[in-house]
């Protein structure tokens, strides 16, 4: 039996060994590539966040802990782990939506396409959680293609004034759909080059706590980082450097050509 066959919900990850988690990552990548090669879909972004998604579900307790995704084109591994893996098998590709969907899954909270909304949406969950004295971590996932959007900037500004638990997971794969441009991205490069230690830090200007992880495709490092910040009592940015298209050589060699794949 494959590791993926054992996983019907995030709870099934809790007792999986690190060795099995690595095998699970390979199986998820194979499932993603199988589906997109038949019916189209996003390739590079999903392959890059596979380990990140596994580690999130390993450490946190979805849906009590809420993952607020910024774009659905990096959520295929999340969908596979949250009860929709059958939608990545022959004859069932169209049984599920390619987007996050609160109508399909208790682990989804918005239907999103290409946006810069996750931090703002996460704040919209974090504030009432605290007002009602509810529990749970709120995790916003946002990529470098979205962080420069005006709504993301406004939300970061508001997050700097927030007093409760909020985890902003910044997935930095050095790419939007194409190459990134602009002053913000020069600072992100500086942060990567200094292992997050550069004095000039875009996120800290908002008053946000900050941690950097260079190897964002290493499950053990991701698990350790997430365990460190779980149940934190203030907003923090986790700047995680991932590799777009990881595990599929054509996508690695042509990062700008592999945001999407279309079936022939």
Neighbours of 155 (CB within 10 A): 25
- Residue 258 pLDDT exceeds 60: no
**Domain coverage including residue 215:** 4-261
Question: d(Cα 51, Cα 78) in Å, to the nearest integer?
Answer: 10
Give whichever of 61-70, 83-92, 114-123 has the largest mean pLDDT. 61-70
3-state SS, residue 130 = helix
Does residue 32 contact residue 98 with C-beta atoms inside 8 Å?
Answer: no
Span 213-234, average pLDDT = 98
- Residue 197 pLDDT exceeds 70: yes
**What's the pLDDT tens digit per position in 226-255?**
999 999 999 999 999 998 767 555 555 565
- Residue 213 pLDDT exceeds 50: yes
CATH number at residue 47: 3.40.50.970
3-state SS, residue 18 = helix
Does residue 166 contact residue 122 with C-beta atoms inside 8 Å?
Answer: yes
Pairing of strands 166-172, 138-143: parallel
**What's the pLDDT tens digit per position in 7-27?**
999 999 999 999 999 999 999
Query: By mean pLDDT, which of 11-15, 158-162, 175-179 is the weakest?
Result: 175-179
Question: d(Cα 119, Cα 125) in Å, to the nearest integer?
Answer: 10
- Within its chain, how far is the Cα of 97 from the centroid? 18
End-to-end CA distance of the chain: 31
Does residue 249 contact residue 257 with C-beta atoms inside 8 Å?
Answer: no
pLDDT bucket at 264, cuts 50 / 70 / 90 = very low
> For the chain, how many residues are written?
264
- Domain count for the chain, please give it: 1
Instruction: Write down the pLDDT at residue 23.
Output: 97
Instruction: Write down the pLDDT at residue 37.
Output: 85
DSSP state of 177: S
**What's the pLDDT tens digit per position in 52-80?**
999 999 999 999 999 999 998 899 999 99
- Within its chain, how far is the Cα of 70 from the centroid? 8
């Amino acid at each position: 039996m494959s590791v993926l066959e054992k996983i019907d919900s995030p709870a099934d990850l809790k007792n999986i060994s690190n060795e099995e988690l690595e095998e699970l990552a390979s199986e998820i990548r194979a499932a993603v590539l199988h589906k997109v090669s038949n019916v189209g879909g996003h390739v590079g972004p999903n392959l890059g966040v596979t380990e990140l998604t596994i580690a999130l579900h390993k450490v946190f307790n979805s849906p009590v802990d809420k993952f607020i995704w910024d774009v659905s084109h990096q959520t295929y591994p999340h969908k596979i782990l949250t009860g929709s893996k059958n939608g990545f098998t022959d004859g069932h590709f169209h049984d599920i939506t390619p987007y996050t969907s609160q109508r399909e899954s208790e682990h989804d909270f918005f239907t999103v396409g290409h946006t810069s909304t996750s931090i703002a949406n996460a704040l919209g969950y974090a504030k009432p959680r605290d007002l009602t004295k509810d529990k749970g971590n709120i995790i916003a996932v946002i990529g470098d293609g979205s962080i420069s959007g005006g709504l993301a900037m406004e939300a970061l500004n508001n997050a700097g004034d927030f007093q409760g638990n909020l985890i902003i997971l910044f997935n930095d794969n050095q790419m939007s759909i194409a190459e990134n441009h602009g002053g913000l991205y020069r600072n992100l490069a500086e942060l990567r080059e200094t292992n997050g230690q550069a004095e000039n830090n875009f996120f800290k200007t908002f008053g946000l706590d900050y941690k950097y992880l260079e190897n964002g495709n290493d499950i053990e490092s991701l698990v350790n980082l997430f365990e460190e910040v779980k149940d934190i009592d203030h907003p923090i940015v986790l700047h995680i450097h991932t590799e777009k298209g990881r595990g599929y050589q054509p996508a690695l060699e042509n990062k700008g050509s592999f945001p999407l794949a279309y079936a022939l």
